[in-house]
Amino acid sequence: MTDDPVQSLKPGSLLAAMRRRNPLVQNITNFVAMNIAANVMLAAGASPAMVHSPEEAGEFAAIASALTINIGTISPDFFEGMKTAAKAAGEAGKPWVLDPVAHFATSYRRSAVAELLALKPTVIRGNASEIIALAGEHASGQGVDAGDSVASAEAAAKALALRHGCVVAVTGERDFVTDGQRSVQVLGGSKLMPKVTALGCSLTCIVGAFVATAPDSPFEATVAALALFAAAGELAGREAQAPGSFAVRFLDLLAEVTPDAVDAVARVVPV
Amino acid sequence: MTDDPVQSLKPGSLLAAMRRRNPLVQNITNFVAMNIAANVMLAAGASPAMVHSPEEAGEFAAIASALTINIGTISPDFFEGMKTAAKAAGEAGKPWVLDPVAHFATSYRRSAVAELLALKPTVIRGNASEIIALAGEHASGQGVDAGDSVASAEAAAKALALRHGCVVAVTGERDFVTDGQRSVQVLGGSKLMPKVTALGCSLTCIVGAFVATAPDSPFEATVAALALFAAAGELAGREAQAPGSFAVRFLDLLAEVTPDAVDAVARVVPV
Amino acid sequence: MTDDPVQSLKPGSLLAAMRRRNPLVQNITNFVAMNIAANVMLAAGASPAMVHSPEEAGEFAAIASALTINIGTISPDFFEGMKTAAKAAGEAGKPWVLDPVAHFATSYRRSAVAELLALKPTVIRGNASEIIALAGEHASGQGVDAGDSVASAEAAAKALALRHGCVVAVTGERDFVTDGQRSVQVLGGSKLMPKVTALGCSLTCIVGAFVATAPDSPFEATVAALALFAAAGELAGREAQAPGSFAVRFLDLLAEVTPDAVDAVARVVPV
């Protein structure tokens, strides 16, 4: 570590800090993502807990260091758990991350996301279509896949960040992170990443691990989380040719990649 | 492609068409299958969406190109979502596929499957014990595994297809597909396939991707889906000796296998 | 096999018997574990069925040869299914295994586990913090991870076994099994095992497969289940360097490991 606060918030340094702290992160995520997201968290060095039932989600949010909420397979019971946990996190001053999966697809999702947004997430992570639609513009996603480019979502991301006072991350062929004032691109990854289900959902959980580590610097924490994925994804993509092998090597590399390798492989470019 | 409509419905041609179209398929499946089924769909070239809550399952069924329903871990909430989605698919003229997992095991499952059958699935895919029991005959399955041979289920499959006006696929050591008039065997695969959980459930989702691509030819679409699995399974089985490695290579091969390789490796035999 | 009843209950012999019998085991487990637990069961040679809905969980418990209950993502619906199934298993004389995941974390979990304990599990399997807390002592776990050593949980495990008349298994860096009278350590495994999510939950299901095979010898059955994991884990750990690859090889080895190799690699040490 260094005395320079900017230097100490470089992705590699934050990764080292996250691994030292091994933060307990509560994830209310979807049924497709639960296993891979927990494996991604463990490999990267965090401590995941999937706790969503309304009977205990709020009590647990006060114990965990951060919370992530993903609406991928939302139902009324899970929605109650999400709201209870987000409120408890807010009252306890814990950061939380919102993943508005395909929120534009049905009226049920749209209204659920509107309620969750009102509970003031610290970070929103989505694909381009999700972020564009969340900003109130016209998106062209179908189902859970993005139909828009990240570049076309940058203005929407900034508007959303300013409106809700949060960090917004748009992930895709290259990533974009903004807090409304500062913006960066994060470059790296592999074209095989969208061929493995729920890696975006898993990244949302990793953002939770980094904001748990640096709760006062959610912008830098989000950039570091995306840089970890970009580096591990790029290194895995150099070795694997197809999605099954890629997923295995990606998990390996989340554990094996060093802080220095993250800083060397992932490119963080101010824009 | 060719002008010959039969030629153009060969499994390899249908696989190429499916990959070009990248169909959005709604899958209401079980908790064991959700992750692997989504990975199978992405690897093969389809766009899966796991949407099951009664609050939105019907609305989404009108958006998706096909629907698949699997009762593996059915509960009242999921059952409501299944019925809502199947009705919406029917009204929108979208094909849907039923996977009656272990429907003979409990009275709850039996009555749920009877209600779903009344909603007129386009295709039914099951193991031999499931298809025999669904036709009203005595099966010897235990739990989710088949206790009967595919050969012993052929007559039941034909009767079921004629009774419900649908395609019936019996999968196992070799597969059998019938619409009551035409019947084929699909040969290939690997003895390791039953050692990986939920590959049958994932195949049901793949049938959904092919009937979304060729909704007017559900027999050919079902054969093509089974041929893709037979080819990728056989190729993966030549390289892997045990179930963990097999699952990884099988996902790779679903992405890597060419249409020509499917036609060369999977044997489709009229019977 | 041998006429010596002690010899015939060695882990390797019990593994051979389990594979011959291919027991049907009902698992009410958490959403994170469902897929990997089913794959672990299939690889090892058992027949898993994930059946939890209250509408059918009791009916199915009378069909299955054993039941396992894991509260990892418990909710009221699942809790009803658990109680119904545990009662039915008890009435049918079928053994059942309890996995009290993080039961100390919230009041909802604490009260749920108290009710399940009253239904008399045959075996309890947990990490050190879970077992210490279950015995009423002060544990230092956070979330789902153990904050205590297995050694520090031995007295609690014995007290718990005597109080409830059951077998207690504490798993971790080395395992400890006791029925209150007899106690053994099971040595083996790999430091990568805690880096793969839900392997402990999957082990609970494997204990179910072994108690289904030797219902009159739950102590020996539990030791054999742990020995299988210790042997497969140790062998996989010799080949894999990181969690993604380890998980794949571990599944392979659960299928490939011979009874003799289990007896040679896993060390069972009376204490």
- Are residues C197 and A63, on separate chains, in Cβ contact within 8 Å? no
Checking ipTM against 0.85, whether it exceeds it is: yes
How do strand B167-170 and strand B175-178 relate by DSSP bridges?
A: antiparallel
Domain range for C45: 7-270
Chain A residues bordering chain B (beta-carbon distance below 8 Å): 30-36, 72-76, 102, 105-109, 142-145, 194-198, 241-245, 247-248
Q: Which of C56, C247, C256 sits opposite B109 (nearest CB)?
A: C56
A142 interaction partners in chain B (CB closer than 8 Å)? 24, 47, 63
C185 part of a folded domain: yes
Nearest residue of chain A to residue B55 (CA atoms): A108
Rounded to an integer, what distance in angstroms lies between the CA atom of residue C270 and that of residue B138? 50
A58 part of a folded domain: yes
Give the model's pLDDT for residue A154.
Answer: 96
User: What residues does B84 pair with on adjacent strands?
Assistant: none
pLDDT means over runs of 10, chain A (271 residues): 53 98 98 98 98 97 97 97 98 98 95 97 97 88 75 96 98 96 97 98 98 98 98 98 98 98 96 91
| Number of B–C residue contacts, CB under 8 Å | 100
The phi and psi torsions of B207 (rounded to 5 degrees) equal -55, -40
C2 part of a folded domain: no
Asked whether residue B15 carries a pLDDT value surpassing 60, the answer given is yes
A144 part of a folded domain: no
Q: How confident is the model at residue B184 (pLDDT cuts 50, 70, 90)?
A: very high
| Total domains, chain B | 1
Six token digits for residue B18: 């499916």
Cα dist from A3 to A21, A55, A263, B244, whole Å: 19, 44, 18, 47
Chain B residues bordering chain A (beta-carbon distance below 8 Å): 24, 31, 34-35, 38-39, 42-43, 47-53, 55-56, 59-60, 63-64, 77, 247-253, 255-256
Q: Which of B53, B247, B256 sits opposite A74 (nearest CB)?
A: B53
B223 within 8 A of B182, measured Cβ to Cβ: no
Rounded to an integer, what distance in angstroms lies between the CA atom of residue B47 and that of residue C203? 34
Give the model's pLDDT for residue A142.
Answer: 67
Per-residue pLDDT of B114-134, as tens digits, reads: 999 999 999 999 999 999 999
A176 part of a folded domain: yes
Half-sphere exposure of B241 (CA within 13 A, CB side): 7
Number of H helices, E strands in chain A: 12, 9
Q: Which helix (H) or strand (E) holds A80?
A: helix A76-91
Give the model's pLDDT for residue A2.
Answer: 41
Per-residue pLDDT of B26-74, as tens digits, reads: 999 999 999 999 999 999 999 999 999 999 999 999 999 999 999 999 9
Give the model's pLDDT for residue B2.
Answer: 41
Return the CATH number at A170. 3.40.1190.20
Six token digits for residue A179: 């807090």
A110 interaction partners in chain B (CB closer than 8 Å)? none
C1 part of a folded domain: no
Give the model's pLDDT for residue A6.
Answer: 44
Rounded to an integer, what distance in angstroms lies between the CA atom of residue C37 and that of residue B61? 31
Nearest CA-CA distance, residue B111 and chain C, Å: 11
C225 part of a folded domain: yes
Nearest residue of chain A to residue B52 (CA atoms): A73
Give chain C as a 3 state SS string.
Answer: CCCCCCHHHCHHHHHHHHHHHCCEEEEECCCCCHHHHHHHHHHHCCEEECCCCCCCHHHHHCCCCEEEEECCCCCHHHHHHHHHHHHHHHHCCCCEEEECCCCCCCHHHHHHHHHHHCCCCCEEEECHHHHHHHCCCCCCCECCECCCCCHHHHHHHHHHHHHHCCEEEECCCCEEEECCCCEEEEECCCCCHHHCCCHHHHHHHHHHHHHHHCCCCHHHHHHHHHHHHHHHHHHHHHHCCCHHHHHHHHHHHHHHCCHHHHHHHCEEEEC
Give one word for A90, left, alpha or beta, with left for phi > 0 and alpha for psi -120 to 50.
Answer: alpha
DSSP annotation of B145: B
- Are residues A48 and C197, on separate chains, in Cβ contact within 8 Å? yes
A9 within 8 A of A220, measured Cβ to Cβ: yes
Six token digits for residue C77: 């619906």
A64 interaction partners in chain C (CB closer than 8 Å)? 143
Q: Which of C35, C36, C73 sits opposite A50 (nearest CB)?
A: C73
Give the model's pLDDT for residue A147.
Answer: 76
B266 within 8 A of B234, measured Cβ to Cβ: yes
Rounded to an integer, what distance in angstroms lies between the CA atom of residue B66 and that of residue B48? 10
C180 part of a folded domain: yes
Six token digits for residue B250: 């099988």
Rounded to an integer, what distance in angstroms lies between the CA atom of residue A32 and that of residue A16? 29
Six token digits for residue C41: 């069961």
Geometric angle at alpha carbon A49, from A44 and A52, rounded to 5°: 140
Cα–Cα nearest to A74, from A140, A28, A139 = A28
What single string gives the DSSP state of each residue in B25-92? EEEE--TTTHHHHHHHHHHHT-EEE----TTTHHHHHTTSSEEEEE-TT--HHHHHHHHHHHHHHHHT
Geometric angle at alpha carbon C77, from C73 and C78, rounded to 5°: 45
What is this structure's pTM? 0.96
Per-residue pLDDT of C30-42, as tens digits, reads: 999 999 999 999 9
Give the model's pLDDT for residue A64.
Answer: 98
Cα–Cα nearest to B137, from B125, B124, B155 = B155
Which amino acid, A140? S
Per-residue pLDDT of B225-235, as tens digits, reads: 999 999 999 99
> For residue C123, what are the contacts with CB-CB under 8 A and spacing of at least 6?
C95, C96, C97, C98, C166, C167, C168, C169, C207, C211, C218, C221, C222
Q: Which helix (H) or strand (E) holds A11?
A: helix A11-21
Nearest CA-CA distance, residue C27 and chain B, Å: 11
B8 within 8 A of B2, measured Cβ to Cβ: yes
C114 within 8 A of C142, measured Cβ to Cβ: no
Q: In a 3-state reduction of DSSP, which class is residue B114?
A: helix
Nearest CA-CA distance, residue A104 and chain B, Å: 11
> For residue B3, what are the contacts with CB-CB under 8 A and spacing of at least 6?
none
Six token digits for residue B244: 């963990």
Other beta carbons within 10 angstroms of residue A165's beta carbon come to 11
Give the model's pLDDT for residue B6.
Answer: 44
Q: Note the residue count of chain A.
A: 271
Rounded to an integer, what distance in angstroms lies between the CA atom of residue A183 and that of residue A223? 10
Six token digits for residue B60: 């989404």
pLDDT tens per residue across all 271 residues of chain C:
344 444 557 999 999 999 999 999 999 999 999 999 999 999 999 999 999 999 999 999 999 999 999 999 999 999 999 999 999 999 999 999 999 999 999 999 999 999 999 999 999 999 999 999 999 977 776 666 677 899 999 999 999 999 999 999 999 999 999 999 999 999 999 999 999 999 999 999 999 999 999 999 999 999 999 999 999 999 999 999 999 999 999 999 999 999 999 999 999 999 9
Rounded to an integer, what distance in angstroms lies between the CA atom of residue A193 and that of residue B110? 40
